Chain A
């Protein structure tokens, strides 16, 4: 037994194997399947449902009640803070749905469900869209509940503005969850993600005009806010609450923000898909 290494080279490849590749599922159908899973899973965890609706609601009621007496920004006389903060709370729901969804990526990728998806013959973009689309669906269903109370808050909105608000929320949600996904993908622990969330994802929301008006801020802050895509998302969400579609859809400020948000969504989705497609490479020897 001087040589125990035996390498038999008998592998034979029948010619028909090339045709045995199953039909590849389309990106749209795979994304839909994965998003549906995301949504179903969310609805089956009552604590998650309660938390993600309860927290923004609590924020809104508590901050609204506490800050309303001192809320007197120039040019917004007659508006209560509760009213001002309302679109910001919608944004917050989008944020939370995105953050929770991104966290699940970390566990799912190495130890769970996503392992099986990664080895399936599906486009990498479909994996991203499934996750991000699922989070958007979750955010939207929460927003619908929240929007039901809008008429009672003194927002005299025309009916056609509601679908615009929902579409906007969906778009911002893709951008926000896409960003979370992009960051979370290479992370190995959820605790690391919490740090990123507190340092990046939350400040993006704080500095978006969701919590306080951005008029009258120091110039440095204004620049930061202008560069913040979430602030542009906020502009898009806020517009339908105060204006007719005919007015804001031709407003250059609104259209600029729309362009920024579209670029943001496109960029984070593309980068995310690239990151998913990237495989670890062994070191040179």
Chain B
């Protein structure tokens, strides 16, 4: 449904200096009806990619096809298929919920009975039923976001793009927003591509794409990405994790990595976690505050994948 091929984007440099490359030969295919999360640290090129996908910006090189249309050659055809939820609110807070929905629908040529039906449909899933006449500016952050989503869904897009839509929401509002989104996504078989840096959001997605410094580092199902890290890992908390990490690596004979005050053993040596814990405790009991066996989360995968890419010795992983 979305097919990105060899996308490269550079921002023009100032006064003869070379431009900054935001996206580098990025290729990604999103199958129809899937929910894909695009994750990456700040500055990884997510937002640039998003702007290009919305048709607001043309890349230096590469092609994007959405629903079979070339995004750069026929932007108008693609716009009709697509709904976009921006990070900053694109609703008019001086207008009521109903007015905002109405304006958006009319931009897509929806009028009369269809418009009424679509509005009813939006009210059925959202918490906006009693707030239709209220100005958007008076709604809570969570409800305002729902207006944003409802507005985009009212046109029945085949493809929905969302740019960190849950930023600034409390956990309950975030959950409500994502639940509504994924329910509608499944019901309509809609293709959803959403950028995020909250990894708990990615756990339920069909696919997760991880990008960093403009490169696609991984694109797979959450489970397969977790499996890349092995089943379990050991997390050792210590005050002086930095000096402890290489010593644990020596004792266990496997590589370790350090994250703040934690030493992580991502590949537990043969024999399982118990002998490894035993070895750590018998050698460094006084330095260690806790040892835990942890199933990797997507956040761990993310840290692993992006670190590997930044490590020159593992450079081939990025290419």
Contact = CB atoms under 8 A, between A and B. Distances in A.
Contacts of B31: 8, 10-12
Interface in B209-233: 215-220, 228
Interface string B167-209: 0000000000000000000000000000000000000000000
Given A4-B305, A115-B90, A120-B107, A37 B29 contact: no
Main secondary structure, interface of A, reads loop
Interface in A92-146: 110-122
Given A12-B31, A280-B57, A17 B81 contact: yes
Interface string B22-34: 0000011111100
Interface residues of A, number: 52
A279 B48 CA distance: 13
A285 B10 CA distance: 7
Q: Interface of chain B, helix or strand or loop or mixed?
A: mixed
Given A40-B95, A115-B88, A282-B59, A7 B103 contact: no
A8 B218 contact: no
Contacts of B220: 6
Nearest to A122: B107
Given A25-B109, A282-B8, A282-B59, A1 B103 contact: no
A8 B29 contact: yes
B240 to A, nearest CB: 29
Q: Which of A2, A41, A283 has the most CB of B within 10 A?
A: A283
Contacts of B58: 279-282
A87 B155 CA distance: 46
B29 A10 contact: yes
Contacts of B95: 37, 40-41, 44
Contacts, number: 178
Nearest to B19: A283
B9 interface: yes
Contact of A111 (B88, B106, B135, B318): B88
B151 interface: yes
A4 B90 contact: no
A70 interface: no
A17 B90 contact: no
A17 B309 CA distance: 38
Interface in A1-45: 1-14, 17-18, 20-26, 29-30, 33-34, 37, 40-41, 44-45
Interface of B: 1-3, 8-13, 19, 21, 27-32, 51, 54-61, 65, 67-69, 76-77, 79-82, 84, 86, 88-92, 94-95, 99, 103-104, 106-110, 135, 151-152, 155-156, 158, 215-220, 228, 305, 308-309, 316-319
